[in-house]
Each structure stands twice: as C-alpha cells, then as structure tokens.
Amino acid sequence: MNNNCMEAGKLYQKIGVVKNLLALDLMSRNPGDRVLPISEYQDKFGVSRGTIQNAFACLKECNAITLENHGHQGTCIKEIDYKKLQENCMRREILGIMPLPYSVTYEGFATAMYLQFAPLNFNMAYARGAVGRIELVESGTYHFAVCSQYAAEQSIKEGKQIEAAINFGPGSFLSRHVLLMSDSRYDSIQDGMRIAYDSSSIDQSCITRNIIHGKKVTLVPIRAQQTVNALMDGIIDAGVWNYDDIQEHKHESLNVVFLDNFEYNNLFSTAVMVIRKEEEYLKSLLKKYISVPKVVEIINEVREKKREPYF
C-alpha cells in the first residue's frame, strides 16, 4: 500500500514537472500556432505519452490554453492566457532588481525590461550596490539582478551560487567610469588625498583599489552615488563615478579624468542579468522574452531622447 502511494506521488510529481516545462514551452507561442505532436514532446522531455497528455489536461483545466483539433493539420492553439501559463511554471510574478535609475542609461534599461516582459506579470525593484542585489537573488527573493559583468564574475569567483543568464554587451550598463577630482591641477591620485570608497559597490571599490595602488591615501566610506556632492562639499578629493551621470547633469566644475586601460576594462560597462545557479526553467524563460538587440536599441532611444523612459 505504501509502495502504491509512493509511486502515485512520483507520478504526480513527474506530471507537475512536465506541466511546468510544457507551460514554459507554450509561453513563446501565439493563438493559431500548431502544437508539436505528442511524440515530439515525449522526445523533448523524456517522458511517456500519458504524462504529456496529463500535463496538457492540467493546463486546459485551468484555462491556460484552449486547443482545437484540425484533423490532418494537427492541433492548434485557439486561445492562450500567458499569465495563467506563467502561474503554472512560476510561483509568483517575475521579480527583477537593478541599480537605482539615476542615469539615462539605467532609465533606458528599466524601460526595456518592462517592454520586453509586457505579456507577463513582472515587477522591477531598484537598489544600490551589486553586493546586495546579488545576495537578494542568491536568497531567492528576486528572480534576477542586473549588474556589471565584472561584479558577476567576481561574485562567482567568491563562491556565490549565481550565473550570468544574459550578457548585453559593452556600454549597456554604463558608458564608462571616470575619476572625478576637485582640483584641476591633478590628473592622478596623489599621496595624502581623501578618496571615496563604497564597499557595497563591487565595481567602484575594485576600480578605486586599482587607482590608489602604491599611494598613501585615506579611504572615505561613502555611497558611490554621493561622490559628486562629497567632492563639492570638500569631504573628499577624488572618487570614481559613472560618466553618464556627469554628462547628463553637466558637472562642469569637476575635473574629469579618464582611466587607463590597465585600470579599467569593458567588464565594468557590460550589463548582465544574473540568476541563481542551475535555474534552467528561469534561464529558458528569460532567453525567450529578452532580445539583447532590442534592449540595446531601447537603451539608445532613451539616451538619444527618442523614447520617453517608462518604468
């Protein structure tokens, strides 16, 4: 009797897994599309014909899909409810987290995410510091986080159970970081200077360590976003910051120094979407709905004032 219960439990579990996979597969389809033959789903998911049929029955019962038999032409999708399909392959809405949208590039990125995920239940949160954002993904609080490729790779090296699901290419996170200095007489860090340091920002803290190497300086713990104000208020002498923000807000009184290649590389300017390691269902979903060229196009349109930001 106990063995029968265990076998039944395994069967229901298998149907549930296949239902998730099937729902994920159907989310990329449209009304009128032909459904793959049962035999193809058998090969795709490695299960029996009956398991596939039961999974389809579950999705039809909850009104996620309505199918129509067209005889020799096969079975087609008559109606499809993407949000109900989503409920069958995810426990809740898709939740992402990215940097605070203080620059036009981040505004463009947030706009692109909402447009790309428009057919689904989706929400984006905003928080400073890649360290915190990555921890929130690793804990399962958020499905994905947006950070630089450098921050993702560094976190993985340190043992974080995450992976980069999508890479958006150089310039997608920001144009570049620069060194801001209060004194126009200098173009590099000098001994005795007070330097902004944000330990919660993997990028800013790493670049800062690179440029102060061998110098006798004082590190002043402040948030990266406060760098400009801290310079103007005389709290620090120099700090690393986002060049996009400098251009947008025209901080002409500050001395902007571009960093050498050995101090800086494209990994800092490249946006990636990180997820928990081995979340294959989620990775497949993101790749189906996110078009990297389209995201880059939307970012550029917002940058060039051709599109109003929406997030």
247-281: per-residue pLDDT in tens? 887 777 789 999 887 667 889 999 999 999 988 87
Report the number of distinct structural domains present in the chain: 3
**Tally of CB atoms within 10 A around 199:** 12
| Domain final residue, candidates 38, 62, 89 | 89
Residue 309, domain member (yes or no): no
Position 263 scores a pLDDT of 61
Residue 310, domain member (yes or no): no
What is the domain range of residue 274?
A: 94-173+268-303
Position 262 scores a pLDDT of 63
Q: Which of 21-25, 149-153, 217-221 has the lowest mean pLDDT?
A: 21-25
Whether 84 shows a pLDDT value over 90: the answer reads no
Position 6 scores a pLDDT of 37
Q: What is the mean pLDDT of residues 25-39?
A: 85
Query: Could you tell me if 221 and 193 lie in one domain?
Result: yes
The secondary structure element, H or E, covering residue 59 is helix 49-61
Query: Could you tell me if 156 and 113 lie in one domain?
Result: yes
Residue 160, domain member (yes or no): yes
| Domain final residue, candidates 58, 73, 89 | 89
Cα torsion 121, 88, 152, 308 to 10°: value is -20
DSSP classification of residue 268 = G
Residue that wins the pLDDT comparison between 39 and 11:
39
Count how many Cα atoms sit within 13 Å of the Cα of residue 194 in the half-sphere of its side chain.
12
Question: Which tokens go with 20?
Answer: 């998730």
DSSP classification of residue 34 = B
Position 45 scores a pLDDT of 84
Residue that wins the pLDDT comparison between 53 and 2:
53
Q: Cα(45)–Cα(26) distance, rounded to whole angstroms?
A: 14
Whether 216 shows a pLDDT value over 60: the answer reads yes
Q: Cα(307)–Cα(311) distance, rounded to whole angstroms?
A: 12
CATH number of domain containing 55: 1.10.10.10
Query: Could you tell me if 240 and 298 lie in one domain?
Result: no
Query: Could you tell me if 153 and 276 lie in one domain?
Result: yes
CATH number of domain containing 295: 3.40.190.10
Query: Could you tell me if 106 and 214 lie in one domain?
Result: no
Query: Could you tell me if 188 and 73 lie in one domain?
Result: no
Question: For residue 87, what pLDDT band results from cuts at 50, 70 and 90?
Answer: confident
Question: For residue 7, what pLDDT band results from cuts at 50, 70 and 90?
Answer: very low
| Domain final residue, candidates 37, 57, 89 | 89
Position 133 scores a pLDDT of 95
Residue 308, domain member (yes or no): no
